[in-house]
Amino acid sequence: MKYCLKEVAAVIRSKNAGPYELTLDVMLKDRETFDRLKEADVINKKTIAALYHIPEEDVLSIIYFPNALAIKATIVRPLPSGAIGERDVYGAQQHAPLVNFTFEM
């Protein structure tokens, strides 16, 4: 069955994690969906790299965190915080590609 991430997630957000990293959090609405997503390996380095058009090695980690029904992906910021040409100092508006992410499960 086809799902859209915004329909199963309670939170989809991005934030800087220090000046050189950007971290993406998805918190699911219920444990069943979290377990199924984890089982199906829906969010992994490959999917994040494809969603953001970045090389897989720039996806530093993917962590499933059951205590908060959360999946966390951390990527290298294209430019460090406040660098010339940088666009989002707090990194709080880099989540959009995840919102309409659709997947089979």
Partner 1 sequence: MKEFRILSPTGIVGYGFPEESFAAGVALKPDLIACDAGSTDPGPYYLGSGIPFTNDTAVKRDLTLMLKAACELHVPLIVGSAGGSGATPHLERDVRIVREIAREQKLSFKLAVISAEFEKDYLLEALRAGRIEKLGPAPEVTEEDILASTHIVAQMGIEPIMRALDDGAQVIICGRCYDPAAFAALPVWLGYDKALALHLGKILECAAICATPGSGSDCIMGYLGEDYFCVEPLNPERRCTPASVAAHTLYEKSNPTILPGPSGHLDLNECRFTAENERRVRVTGSRFVPERIPSVKLEGCRQAGFRTISICGNRDPIFISQVEDILNDLKKRTAANLSADFEYQLDFIVYGKNGVMGALETADRITSHEIGIVVDALADTQEHASAVCSVARSTLLHYGYPGRIATAGNLAFPFSPSDIKVGPVFVFSVYALLRDEDPASLFKRSYEMIGEE
Instruction: Report if residue 88 touches partner 1, rule: CB under 8 A.
Output: yes
User: What's the CA angle centered on 23, arms 105 and 39, to 5 degrees?
Assistant: 25
Q: Kindly state the tokens that stand for 2.
A: 């086809």
The answer to whether 22 and 75 have CB atoms below 8 angstroms apart is: yes
Instruction: Give the binding range for partner 1 (CB under 8 A) out of 1-9, 32-40, 41-49, 71-79.
Output: 71-79
List strand residue ranges (DSSP E) for 45-84, in order.
Answer: 59-65, 70-76
State the amino acid at position 2 in one-letter form.
K
Instruction: Report if residue 59 touches partner 1, rule: CB under 8 A.
Output: no
From the CB of 4, what's the least distance to partner 1, in Å?
A: 16
- List of residues contacting partner 1 (CB under 8 A): 15-21, 23, 25, 27, 51-54, 60-61, 63, 65, 67-70, 72, 74, 76-90, 93-94, 96-97
